[in-house]
Amino acid sequence: MEIYYRLGTAGEQELFGSETASFEGILVGAHIASLGRTWVTGLIVRTGKPYHVDPMTYVFAQDPQIVRRADEVRKSYDELADSYGGVIRQNAGRRPLRRSELRGNSVSDLASRVVDFEETVLSETGPVQATLVEYLEEIGETVHHVMPPSLVLPPYFYAESIEDPWYGVNLELAEATREVSDPGRVAPVLCISQRAAGTDSGLERMAQDYGEYPTVYVWISGLDEQRATQTALYGYGKLVHALARRGTHPRTLYGGPFSLALATAGLEGVSSGICYSEWKDVAVRATGGGFPTRYYVPLNRTKAVLANAARLLASVPECMCDCEVCRDVVPVSIRRRRPNPEVAEAIASLTQLETKRHLMRVRAGEVRKMRAHSAASIAARLEADARLARQRNTHVYGVPSSHLQSWAAVMHRLKL
């Protein structure tokens, strides 16, 4: 199981640079790569991590407000639309792209423009990037040369079901991408609704259609692992398993702790932002307002706003984490006291950077543990943790745990 964190803002560079042991690669949204190509290239050069570029084409078939700010198209999407050209440029921020506008030459044209963008946007050969690399070498920083992305993601759009015309368009775009790129690196994105993943016939068809690609990215729109029904999670698990049985390597474009457990179903990679974006709905625009600082509670496998986490840990030291970040902030010597306002004070004073570092360390540990466990033992672990969380009344502190029981039930039901 590989973790590819999504790059959010330039402010996260330090985190990516200092926590390289906690993840395998970087996923860069094309709009971020387009606007921030210099600093993103700098990050890749410094970390030496492989990366994939999410082409983000789906946004252009959604409500134009998603790519707009006030009266104009956001600069990042505007530049991206320039790079993609054609029907994307004509409609960006005006109206949603129509399925009928992507046929024949426009399919192959979009595929080759997207491939070209992904292959070159983060190269060292641009004038500014070349100067940056030169500068980093000059000041003695370790510089890794930027390789092309290890996978190429074809343009993709959201399909409500396999009968949705966009489903067919996505297959055409994937095929067209294979013609203009190294077929072994083409990783189409299966971007679908929860409903589409809910029927056996639909799953089989998707596994058949996408099973011929060596890697497939799965994105079930709006699948919030913590709040999703067992049926929805079961559909997701079955889809991953069906793809893996066909010999492809499934990854997820947005995923959290439940996705990690799907390593036992054949899921090979999970992407998310660092402490955010573990799920996403295609139709929801980014607000840009940021998030309050949240602390990942390992027992509950959920993030809690700092105040809730601080209060919980002051009463329930069993929930205290043992990662290096937390050991630095809360010395082991004071952890077992109860009640423990010192713990609350220490947790309440964590910075956003520290909570993110904590999450990265814990997540890396979770992945290591998953490697050594079967689906049955993961389910048993989830049940044991759900029991402990219930006994400790973590929900009373605003830190829920009922999802752990649901996840365990789904893991049993998947019969892996």
Taking the complex as a whole, how short is the minimal distance between the CB of residue 321 and another protein, in angstroms? 19
Q: Which of 200, 241, 236, 201 is nearest to 416 (CA)?
A: 241
Of 151-159, 243-251, 277-285, 306-314: span binding another protein (CB under 8 A): 306-314
Taking the complex as a whole, how short is the minimal distance between the CB of residue 405 and another protein, in angstroms? 19
Is residue 108 close enough to count as binding another protein by CB under 8 A?
Answer: no
Of 23-31, 131-139, 209-217, 335-343: span binding another protein (CB under 8 A): 335-343
Report CA 246 to chain centroid distance, whole Å. Answer: 23
Is residue 315 close enough to count as binding another protein by CB under 8 A?
Answer: yes
Taking the complex as a whole, how short is the minimal distance between the CB of residue 291 and another protein, in angstroms? 10
Residue-by-residue DSSP string for 81-101:
HHHH-HHHHHHTTTSPPPGGG
Is residue 310 close enough to count as binding another protein by CB under 8 A?
Answer: yes
Query: What residue has token string 């919980």?
Result: 312
- Cα–Cα dist 248/236, whole Å: 16
Q: Which is nearer to another protein, 73 or 348 (CB)?
A: 348
Is residue 350 close enough to count as binding another protein by CB under 8 A?
Answer: no
Contact 4, 52 (CB under 8 A): yes
Q: Which of 110, 28, 89, 73 is nearest to 285 (CA)?
A: 73
Query: What residue has token string 């530049």?
Result: 79
Contact 88, 59 (CB under 8 A): no
Contact 28, 52 (CB under 8 A): yes
Q: Which is nearer to another protein, 169 or 309 (CB)?
A: 309
What are the E-state strand segments in 9-162? 25-29, 51-54, 68-69, 72-73
Contact 150, 52 (CB under 8 A): yes
Taking the complex as a whole, how short is the minimal distance between the CB of residue 397 and another protein, in angstroms? 6
Is residue 308 close enough to count as binding another protein by CB under 8 A?
Answer: yes
Considering only residues 384-413, where is the footprint of another protein by CB under 8 A?
395-398
Q: Which is nearer to another protein, 54 or 354 (CB)?
A: 354
Contact 26, 364 (CB under 8 A): no
Is residue 345 close enough to count as binding another protein by CB under 8 A?
Answer: yes
Among 247, 341, 351, 384, the residue binding another protein under the rule CB under 8 A is 341
User: What is each CA distance from 178 to 27, 78, 166, 325, in whole angstroms?
Assistant: 20, 26, 18, 44
Is residue 292 close enough to count as binding another protein by CB under 8 A?
Answer: yes
Among 314, 325, 370, 379, the residue binding another protein under the rule CB under 8 A is 314
Is residue 339 close enough to count as binding another protein by CB under 8 A?
Answer: yes
Among 10, 171, 307, 388, the residue binding another protein under the rule CB under 8 A is 307
Rule CB under 8 A: which residues touch another protein?
292-293, 305-308, 310-311, 314-315, 339-341, 344-345, 348, 395-398
